[in-house]
Amino acid sequence: MSELPDLLVGATGEGDVLIAAGAGGRPVVELAWRGELAPSTWQQLDQRVAQGTWAGARVALEGVNRPASFGDPRPVIQGADGAPLLLSAGGFGQPSEEGASVLARRVHELVWLDAPSRPLHLLELFAGSGTLSVLLARGPNAADAADGEASLASFVAIEQGAEAAACLRENLAARGLSGKVVVADADATPIPPRVDVVVLDPPRGGASGAAAALAASSARVVVYVSCNPATLARDLALLTASGLMITHLEAVELFPQTSHVEVIVRLARRPARAAALS
């Protein structure tokens, strides 16, 4: 991307430039700018996308409600299933595709651990563009369903961002997977009575609203993915007080040499008899 300095000639102010691989492996550029961009910047963006040098670009100017887009500015990474995974422009992506795959595969394993002999209703909150969804919507692996009983009855994903939800639908459709994608605030979504398992991967602020809804629900298993131990501890206190027990707590190192870490927690609801005896 040696052309980036030329792109910003004549600009005033400051900003951030994010570069990723997009459609066909060509670059996509996300420019968040606080200040003014020169006319030549807009002309170069248009030309590079029109000529096919870049797959797309998006410019978000401070004070402007809607970013300007050129071509298809959405990044494409390798999903946990080995197929291309489309992300929303400017959306969240893990720093390591390999690490993200390890995380997604482990979440999938924990969802189907000790699954009962009936089809499960699965709900995913804060689904994003589908990093976890493309595995969850498949149902159990062959090993999980070796007895022929474990299966998926329904899959519903909740995501507040309309662009991310659109990517999620495309990612599921590209794999021939079924599932319902709902654009809504996952932290204010009631848990339907029939839901058996809930997976949630909230932002750093955690999911206090979702935790309260889960605590009041009849969900049998909760798999919580967190990038912030402080808000995770807050939410786990509410979940465990409701009768959910922590069965697994695991860390996945996606941010080497930093204080940040991804944590996966699996909780299972205590049987009524066990709860009464405790």
- Residues with catalytic annotation? 227
Q: Which residue reads 């870049």 in tokens?
A: 54
Number of Cβ atoms within 10 Å of the Cβ of 134: 23
Strands 56-61 and 76-78 come out as: unpaired
Can you read off the two tokens belonging to residue 255? 């941010």
Helix, strand or coil, per DSSP, at residue 120: strand
In the chain, helix, strand, coil percent, each to 5? 30, 30, 40
**Helical H runs in the chain?**
4-7, 39-50, 97-111, 133-136, 162-174, 208-215, 229-241, 272-277
φ, ψ (nearest 5 deg) of residue 233: -60, -40
Residue 233 CA to residue 241 CA, distance in Å, equals 12
